[in-house]
Amino acid sequence: MNFVSTSGRTPPTPFRDALLAGLAPDGGLFIPEHIPRVPAAFIGALPEQTLQSIGVEIAAAFIDDIPRTALAHILADAWTFDVPLVRLTDTIFLLELFHGPTLAFKDIGARFLARTLSHYLGETGRDITIAVATSGDTGSAVAHGFLDVPHVVVYVLYPSGKVSPLQEQQMATLGRNIHALEVEGTFDDCQRMVKRALGDGEVASARRLTTANSISLGRLVPQIAYYFWAVAQWRRTSPPPADTDAPVVVVPSGNFGNLTAGVYADAMGLRLASLIAATNANDAGAEYIRTGRFAPRNAVQTYANAMDVGNPSNLARLRAHFGDNLPRLQQRIAASSVSDSATIDEIRLTYEQCGTVIDPHTAVGVAVARAQHGKAPVVVTATAHPAKFPEVIERALGRPVPLPPELRDAEGRAKQSTIIPADYAAFKRILLTSSRP
């Protein structure tokens, strides 16, 4: 399997080279040349599969230069936690993707990416630097995923004062091969600085640089697997939730990486009933899906802050997938947006009706699922643990959520970040002068 670019000016590239490059050389995002189909027998036997065995099947369909046994090792090492499907109401299920070390779904992709890169670096003996811009969850998942991975140095750029204290604790206290850069600006400034570094020839001649943002294929490919795993568990539920083959899936969305993985799973043969993108007030992507009009704008801050994205990068992949044909896209994907006050109401309602505390991102998804009248079963991808957002939960429920051990560990560690201005020259100086990995 080779990969081409959404911008159309990159020759077919093997997975390994696409992964090491991050962004395609023409500035586009790497996409598979075609979407591989999984065998019908595999779909039929889903209820007998495990998340790991599904992961190997999916990864092998895209990655042909890592043997299946090595992929199985990578996955066993990366996915050391459960991804349960939990029934919330008669028709709404949660796929809990947040039981990894940083308690958000990004662990699933970031941990696979780290180990896959490490596999390739081990083959070549070359070193690499990862630069990643984050509004919170990506940075902590990437920092934890790469901690102590040999031959890798990570720079995490995050906007000063704009990530939650817990998120900062998780990414700025690790030290070792993880450098936290606290940027006096916004998330968009951080993203701009990383993109500029990736295209800077002077930096490229000093060190091999790539990124780990949701544009990375190394995060996208493993995320496809949990859609199959959701259906596997859904079919095992007893009594079966409905006599349909597959549920509707609602995906709380920011950069649309999670949704793109669902669309790929669907096209590989999973045949979901449909997919729905759920966004907060940052609805440029949702508006595109509803109307075909795309107007990127500056992000506004909401309670679901990991979805505060004004210009979702993976929209380019979705458009390419459907050949820029809006009616075809709309046959498979719908979109809906949820305000901050409706998010708070949903956290409260879900707690009162079901006794379950959900985080603000998941609440955006559940609110959209609830608005689907009719009896079709809905799976919401639950993207974060509520304890990561104690202020929002307290506002909704008037009481705190107990901290899980992962967060308690982070609380005791001292911050080790470097403050820099929102100025590319400052970042470049660090990349050119600090010691190489």
Binder among 4, 22, 49, 106 for ligand PLP (CB under 6 A)? 106
Least CB distance to ligand PLP at residue 40 (A): 29
- Spatial CB neighbours of 100, under 8 Å, sequence gap ≥ 6: 80, 81, 107, 108, 111, 141
> What residues from 255 to 294 belong to the interface with ligand PLP (CB under 6 A)?
255-259
Q: Is residue 48 packed enough to be buried (19+ CB in 10 Å), middle (13-18) or exposed (0-12)?
A: exposed
Q: What's phi and psi for 110, nearest 5 deg? A: -65, -40
Shortest distance in whole angstroms from residue 253 CB to ligand PLP: 4
Cα–Cα distance, 168 to 161 (Å, whole number): 9
Among 383, 387, 393, 422, binds ligand PLP (CB under 6 A): 383
Candidates 87-95, 153-161, 248-256, 320-328; binding stretch for ligand PLP (CB under 6 A): 248-256
Helix (H) / strand (E) containing 385: none
Strand segments (E) across 161-205: 178-184
Q: How far is the CB of 58 from ligand PLP (least distance, A)?
A: 17
Number of C-beta neighbours around residue 240 at 10 A: 11
Q: How far is the CB of 68 from ligand PLP (least distance, A)?
A: 27
Stretches 160-168, 246-254, 332-340, 425-433: which one binds ligand PLP (CB under 6 A)? 246-254
Contacts 24+ apart (CB under 8 A), 80-87: 81/107, 83/51, 83/108, 83/226, 83/229, 84/233, 85/230, 85/233, 85/234, 85/237, 85/379, 86/356, 86/382, 87/237
- Contacts (Cβ under 8 Å, ≥6 apart) of 81: 99, 100, 101, 107
Q: Which stretch binds ligand PLP (CB under 6 A): 57-65, 176-184, 251-259, 369-377?
A: 251-259
Return the number of the residue (214 or 343) whose C-beta is nearest ligand PLP. 214
Asked if residue 361 binds ligand PLP (CB under 6 A), the reply is yes
- Among positions 164-223, residues that touch ligand PLP (CB under 6 A) are 214
Tell me the CA end-to-end span of the chain in Å, nearest whole number. Answer: 31
In the complex, minimum distance from the CB of residue 324 to ligand PLP, in angstroms, rounded to a whole number: 20
Cβ proximity to ligand PLP: between 120 and 303 the closer is: 303
User: Coil, strand or helix: which one is 343?
Assistant: helix
For ligand PLP, the closer CB: 181 or 299: 299
Binder to ligand PLP among 57, 96, 137, 188 (CB under 6 A)? 137
Footprint of ligand PLP on 28-87 (CB under 6 A): none
Binding segment for ligand PLP (CB under 6 A), chosen from 11-19, 151-159, 250-258, 343-351, is 250-258
Burial class (CB in 10 A: 0-12, 13-18, 19+), 435: exposed
**129 vs 314, beta carbon nearer ligand PLP:** 314
- Cα 10 to Cα 25, 129, 204: the distances in Å are 7, 23, 19
Give the contact letters, 290-329, x = binds to ligand PLP (CB under 6 A), - = no. Answer: ----------------xx----------------------
Whether 247 and 91 have beta carbons less than 8 Å apart is answered as no
Q: Which residue of 92, 263, 335, 384 would you call a contact of ligand PLP, by CB under 6 A?
A: 384
Binding site for ligand PLP (CB under 6 A): 104, 106, 137, 214, 252-259, 306-307, 361, 383-384
